[in-house]
C-alpha cells in the first residue's frame, strides 16, 4: 500500500560540491532522507529506470530500503541495485550508462569517515551517468525547502544479498554483480595483456583499498583478472566504518601505504582509492606523484592505452588544479578547459565530445568512459603506461619535467575551523583585491585578483564564487577556497603553484620551492591569527 506522509521540509539540504553530506545522526532525523529523495524525484522525474548503490558505509542499508520503497511509490518501474547495495561511484556511472537508466542515486560521503557518529551522503546522477549539474541541484534544493509530502510503499525490506530480480509493489528490482560491468569496461579500455605481463613479472605493487568500496573491484581486476600476487590489494574488505579510518588517499590518511612505499624495500608501484572509489593516489618506489602531475602524465602518455590510441579530443581541469596539463594540451594541439571544482562541471564538455580526459588536484582523474572520476581507472592507466614504457614511476615523472618544466604545486587544508572565522578570512582577502594589484610581494608581483566564475561553453550557465585567486605576473598563483564537502565547521583550502622551466631545478621539494608563496598566503589571509591554527591538517 502506498502511503503519503506529510514532511516538515528542511532548510539545510542544499547539495555541496558533490551531493548532500551530513552526519549520520542528521540523516537519521525523521523524514530527513525522505524529504531529499522525494524532492529529487519531483525535480528530475518521471524516472522509469534508475540505478541505486553506495559505498557500503554505515546507514547505506537503511537508506537503500527507504529509497526503494519511495521509488516504488513514485512510479519507478525498474531499479538496478548493486549486490548488497554496493556500487562504487564510477561503477554506478558505468551502470547508468550501460543500462540506459534515467539516472541514479549514489549513497556516499566519499572520503569522509563513516560510522554512526560520522558522515553519510547522497547524490543524484543523470542519465549520462554524471552528477546532476548545478541548475538541477539548485532546483532540488528549492524543492526541499517547501516539500509538503512524500510517498512511500509500505513493505518489508528486500534481501539484496543475492543476484536476480525481485518485485516490490509494481516495481522490478534487479540485483546485479557490483563489479562485473565495471571490470568489463576496464578491459575494453586498457591493454590487459600488457598490464598482466607486467604484474606477473618481478614488478611489485600494493593497492590500498582503505577498507572502502574499491576492495572487491581491485581484487577482481588486479588479482583475479590481471594476475597480480595475492595480497597486492590491502585493506580489501569493505567495512561500514572503513575500519575507523579516513578513506582519503593522500599522504596523511593513507599512512599505512605511504609507510610501505617510503621504505628501503619498497614496491615499484603503490596506489590507493577513497571511500567511494573515485579518487586515486599514485606512488612510486619512495616517490609521490602529485595529482596535477599525474593528470599531465596521463595526458602526455594517453596513447599507451588502446582506448586513447587515436589521441585525446580535449582536456579539462578544475581551476585549482595546476596548469601542468595545459602545457601538454598545448603541445598536443587540443583544447584545454578550466572549470570550477567538482566533477559536475565536466559532464557537458564530455557529452559534447569536446574533452575526453578530465582531472582535479584532489586526487581525481577520469575520462569519458564514464561521467565520474575513477580511481581504479587512473591506477590502470598508470599500469598501462608503465607496461608500455618499461621504466619506473619516478623516471616517467622526471622525463616529463625535463620536457615540459615543472609546475610546483601544493594544497594546504585547514580542516574543521570555526565557520565564522573562515568566512571572515575570505572577506578580509576579498577586501584587499583592489589594492593588491600591481604590488610586489617578495619576488612576486600581483597581476590579477578575482573570485573565479565560469560560463559553461555548452549551455552558457554561469557559476560564480568558485575561489579567490591571486595571480602573479610570472604565472604563479595562490587560490583560497572553502570546501563544499565537509560536515564540521569549515575547511579552508589554499592552493599554491609556481612554474620552473629549468630542468636542473625541477627536483626540489615542493614545500621548499613554494615557501615564499606559503608565507605570502599566510600574511595576506592572517590565517594563523584568525583561526588559531599554526599548521595545515593535510598537506598535499
Ligand atoms: C572536494 C575536492 C573536489 C572534489 C570533491 C568531491 O571538494 O576538492 O575536487 O570534486 O571533493 O570529491 P571540496 O568542495 O571539499 O573542495 V569526492 O571523492 O569526495 O566525492
Ligand atoms: Co570520492
Q: Report the atom number in ligand 1 closest to the C-alpha of 112.
A: 19
CA–centroid distance, 279 to ligand 2, in Å, is 5
**Those residues with Cβ within 8 angstroms of residue 64's Cβ, 6 or more apart along the chain or in another chain:** 52, 53, 54, 81, 85, 107, 160
d(CA 438, CA 228): 56
- What pLDDT score does 410 carry? 95
Coil, strand, or helix at residue 70?
Answer: helix
Length of the chain (residues): 540
Residue indicated by cell numbers 575570505:
426
Burial class (CB in 10 A: 0-12, 13-18, 19+), 98: middle
Cβ-contact 207, 271 below 8 angstroms: yes
Q: How many CB atoms lie within 10 A of CB 148?
A: 11
Q: Which residues surround ligand 2, an ion (CB under 5 A)?
A: 110, 274, 276, 278-279
Q: Report the atom number in ligand 1 closest to the C-alpha of 16.
A: 14
Q: Which one of the ligands is nearest to 274 CA?
A: 2
Cβ-contact 466, 482 below 8 angstroms: no
Confidence of residue 502 (pLDDT cuts 50, 70, 90): confident
For 198-214, give the secondary structure using H, E and C: HHHCCCCEEEECCCCCH
Q: Which CATH superfamily is domain 407-539 in?
A: Alpha-D-phosphohexomutase, C-terminal domain (3.30.310.50)
Q: What is the pTM assigned to this prediction? A: 0.94
d(CA 109, CA 117): 13
Considering only CA atoms, which residue is closest to atom 1 of ligand 1? 485
CA–centroid distance, 468 to ligand 2, in Å, is 24
Confidence of residue 234 (pLDDT cuts 50, 70, 90): very high
Cell of 436: 593588491
d(CA 481, CA 341): 10
Mutate to test the pocket of ligand 1, among 119, 294, 364 (most ligand atoms within 8 A of CB): 364
Q: Does domain 2-178 have CATH number 3.90.226.10?
A: no
d(CA 391, CA 395): 6
Cell of 491: 575547511
- What pLDDT score does 47 carry? 95
Distance from the Cα of residue 529 to its chain's centroid:
32
d(CA 15, CA 13): 6
**Those residues with Cβ within 8 angstroms of residue 27's Cβ, 6 or more apart along the chain or in another chain:** 33, 59, 63, 120
Per-residue pLDDT of 373-425, as tens digits, reads 999 999 999 999 999 999 999 999 999 999 999 999 999 999 999 999 999 99
CA–centroid distance, 89 to ligand 1, in Å, is 13
Q: Report the atom number in ligand 1 closest to the C-alpha of 362.
A: 9
More confident residue, 1 or 430: 430
DSSP class of 333? T
Give the residues across from 51 on adjacent strands. 80, 104
Cell of 398: 622526471
Q: Report the atom number in ligand 1 closest to the C-alpha of 361.
A: 9
Considering only CA atoms, which residue is closest to atom 6 of ligand 1? 18
d(CA 338, CA 321): 9
CA–centroid distance, 73 to ligand 2, in Å, is 30
Mutate to test the pocket of ligand 1, among 14, 18, 113, 467 (most ligand atoms within 8 A of CB): 18
d(CA 138, CA 132): 10
Considering only CA atoms, which residue is closest to atom 13 of ligand 1? 483
Q: Report the atom number in ligand 1 closest to the C-alpha of 275.
A: 18
H or E segment and range at residue 39: helix 32-44
Considering only CA atoms, which residue is closest to atom 2 of ligand 1? 362
- What pLDDT score does 239 carry? 93
Return the closest-CA partner of residue 5 out of 34, 45, 40, 42: 34
Confidence check: pLDDT of 149 > 80: yes
Confidence check: pLDDT of 88 > 90: yes
- Side-chain half-sphere of 455: how many Cα atoms within 13 Å? 2
- What pLDDT score does 83 carry? 95
- What pLDDT score does 9 carry? 84
- What pLDDT score does 8 carry? 87
Coil, strand, or helix at residue 125?
Answer: strand
Return the closest-CA partner of residue 281 out of 370, 366, 208: 208
Considering only CA atoms, which residue is closest to atom 20 of ligand 1? 110
Burial class (CB in 10 A: 0-12, 13-18, 19+), 371: buried
Q: What are phi and psi of 358, to 5 degrees?
A: -135, 155
Q: Average model confidence (pLDDT) for the chain?
A: 95
Confidence check: pLDDT of 291 > 80: yes
**Ligand 1 site residues, Cβ closer than 6 angstroms:** 17-18, 110-111, 274, 278-279, 318, 341-343, 360, 362, 364, 483-485, 493
Coil, strand, or helix at residue 535?
Answer: coil
First to last CA, the chain: 52
Cell of 306: 588502446
CA–centroid distance, 249 to ligand 2, in Å, is 10
Q: Which one of the ligands is nearest to 112 CA?
A: 1
Q: Which one of the ligands is nearest to 291 CA?
A: 1
DSSP class of 131? B
Q: Which one of the ligands is nearest to 55 CA?
A: 2
Per-residue pLDDT of 456-496, as tens digits, reads 999 999 999 999 999 999 889 999 999 988 778 899 999 99
Confidence of residue 45 (pLDDT cuts 50, 70, 90): confident
Residue indicated by cell numbers 547508468:
96
Per-residue pLDDT of 294-353, as tens digits, reads 999 999 999 999 999 999 999 999 999 999 999 999 999 999 999 999 999 999 999 999
- Break the chain into its structural domains and give their ranges: 2-178, 182-404, 407-539
Confidence check: pLDDT of 430 > 80: yes
Q: Is 383 left (phi over 0), alpha (psi -120 to 50) or beta?
A: alpha
**Those residues with Cβ within 8 angstroms of residue 136's Cβ, 6 or more apart along the chain or in another chain:** 43, 44, 124, 126
Mean pLDDT value across residues 432-447: 93
CA–centroid distance, 17 to ligand 1, in Å, is 6
Coil, strand, or helix at residue 429?
Answer: helix
Is-same-fold flag (2-178; 182-404)?
yes
CA–centroid distance, 324 to ligand 1, in Å, is 20
Confidence check: pLDDT of 131 > 90: yes
Return the closest-CA partner of residue 92 out of 282, 328, 358, 371: 371
Cβ-contact 407, 322 below 8 angstroms: yes
Find the radius of gyration of the CA atoms of the chain.
23
Q: Report the atom number in ligand 1 closest to the C-alpha of 486.
A: 15
CA–centroid distance, 91 to ligand 2, in Å, is 12
Q: Report the atom number in ligand 1 closest to the C-alpha of 89.
A: 20
Q: How many CB atoms lie within 10 A of CB 400?
A: 21
Give the residue numbers marked as catalytic: 110
Mean pLDDT value across residues 40-64: 96
Mean pLDDT value across residues 368-372: 97
Cell of 534: 599554526
Mutate to test the pocket of ligand 1, among 291, 342, 376 (most ligand atoms within 8 A of CB): 342
Fold of 182-404: Alpha-D-Glucose-1,6-Bisphosphate; Chain A, domain 3 (3.40.120)
Return the closest-CA partner of residue 99 out of 120, 82, 122: 82
Distance from the Cα of residue 116 to its chain's centroid:
23
- What pLDDT score does 178 carry? 87
d(CA 138, CA 18): 13
Alpha helices, H only, 359-406: 375-389, 393-404
**Those residues with Cβ within 8 angstroms of residue 124's Cβ, 6 or more apart along the chain or in another chain:** 19, 40, 44, 103, 104, 105, 106, 131, 132, 136, 140
Amino acid at each position: 500500500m502506498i502511503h503519503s506522509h506529510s514532511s516538515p521540509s528542511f532548510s539545510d539540504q542544499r547539495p555541496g560540491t558533490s551531493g548532500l553530506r551530513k552526519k549520520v545522526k542528521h540523516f537519521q532525523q525523521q523524514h530527513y532522507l525522505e524529504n531529499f529523495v522525494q524532492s529529487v524525484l519531483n525535480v528530475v522525474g518521471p524516472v522509469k529506470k534508475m540505478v541505486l548503490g553506495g559505498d557500503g558505509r554505515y546507514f547505506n542499508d537503511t537508506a537503500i530500503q527507504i529509497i526503494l520503497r519511495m521509488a516504488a511509490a513514485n512510479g519507478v518501474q525498474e531499479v538496478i541495485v548493486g549486490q548488497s547495495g554496493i556500487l562504487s561511484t564510477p561503477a554506478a556511472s558505468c551502470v547508468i550508462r550501460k543500462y540506459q537508466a534515467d539516472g541514479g542515486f549514489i549513497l556516499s560521503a566519499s572520503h569522509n569517515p563513516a560510522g554512526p557518529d560520522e558522515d553519510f551522503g547522497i547524490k543524484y546522477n543523470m542519465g549520462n551517468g554524471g552528477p546532476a549539474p548545478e541548475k538541477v541541484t539548485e532546483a532540488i534544493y528549492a524543492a526541499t525547502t517547501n516539500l509538503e509530502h512524500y510517498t512511500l510503499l509500505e513493505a518489508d525490506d528486500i534481501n539484496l544479498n543475492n543476484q536476480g530480480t525481485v518485485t516490490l509493489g509494481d516495481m522490478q528490482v534487479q540485483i546485479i554483480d557490483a563489479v562485473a560491468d565495471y571490470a568489463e569496461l576496464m578491459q575494453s579500455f586498457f591493454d590487459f595483456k600488457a598490464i598482466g605481463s607486467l604484474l606477473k613479472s618481478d614488478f611489485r605493487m600494493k593497492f590500498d583499498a582503505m577498507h572502502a568500496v574499491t576492495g572487491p573491484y581491485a581484487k577482481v581486476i588486479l588479482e583475479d583478472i590481471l594476475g597480480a600476487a595475492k595480497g597486492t590489494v590491502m585493506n580489501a574488505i569493505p567495512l561500514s566504518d572503513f575500519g575507523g579510518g579516513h578513506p582519503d588517499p593522500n599522504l596523511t590518511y593513507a599512512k599505512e601505504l605511504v609507510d610501505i612505499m617510503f621504505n628501503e624495500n619498497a614496491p615499484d608501484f603503490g596506489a590507493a582509492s577513497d571511500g567511494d572509489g573515485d579518487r586515486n593516489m599514485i606512488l612510486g618506489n619512495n616517490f609521490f606523484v602529485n595529482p596535477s602531475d599525474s593528470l599531465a602524465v596521463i595526458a602526455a602518455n594517453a596513447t599507451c592505452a588502446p582506448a586513447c590510441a587515436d589521441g585525446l579530443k580535449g582536456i579539462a581541469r578544475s581551476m585549482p588544479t595546476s596548469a601542468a596539463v595545459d602545457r601538454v594540451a598545448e603541445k598536443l594541439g587540443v583544447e584545454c578547459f578550466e572549470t570550477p571544482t567538482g566533477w559536475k562541471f565536466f559532464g557537458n564538455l564530455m557529452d559534447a565530445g569536446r574533452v575526453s580526459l578530465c582531472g582535479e588536484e584532489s586526487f581525481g582523474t577520469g575520462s569519458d568512459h564514464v561521467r565520474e572520476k575513477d580511481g581504479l581507472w587512473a591506477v590502470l592507466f598508470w599500469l598501462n603506461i608503465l607496461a608500455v614504457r618499461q621504466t619506473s614511476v619516478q623516471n616517467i615523472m622526471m622525463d616529463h619535467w625535463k620536457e615540459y618544466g615543472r609546475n610546483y604545486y601544493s594544497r594546504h587544508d585547514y580542516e574543521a575551523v570555526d565557520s565564522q572565522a573562515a568566512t571572515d578570512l575570505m572577506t578580509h582577502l576579498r577586501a584587499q583585491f583592489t589594492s593588491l594589484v600591481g604590488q610586489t610581494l617578495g619576488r612576486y608581483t600581483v597581476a590579477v585578483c578575482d573570485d573565479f566564475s565560469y560560463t559553461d561553453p555548452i549551455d552558457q550557465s554561469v557559476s560564480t564564487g568558485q575561489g579567490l585567486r591571486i595571480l602573479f605576473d610570472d604565472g604563479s598563483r595562490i587560490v583560497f577556497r572553502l570546501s563544499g564537502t565537509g560536515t564540521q565547521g569549515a575547511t579552508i583550502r589554499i592552493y599554491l603553484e609556481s612554474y620552473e622551466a629549468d630542468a636542473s631545478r625541477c627536483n626540489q621539494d615542493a614545500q621548499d620551492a613554494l615557501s615564499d608563496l606559503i608565507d605570502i598566503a599566510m600574511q595576506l589571509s592572517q590565517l594563523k591569527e584568525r583561526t588559531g591554527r599554526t599548521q595545515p591538517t593535510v598537506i598535499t
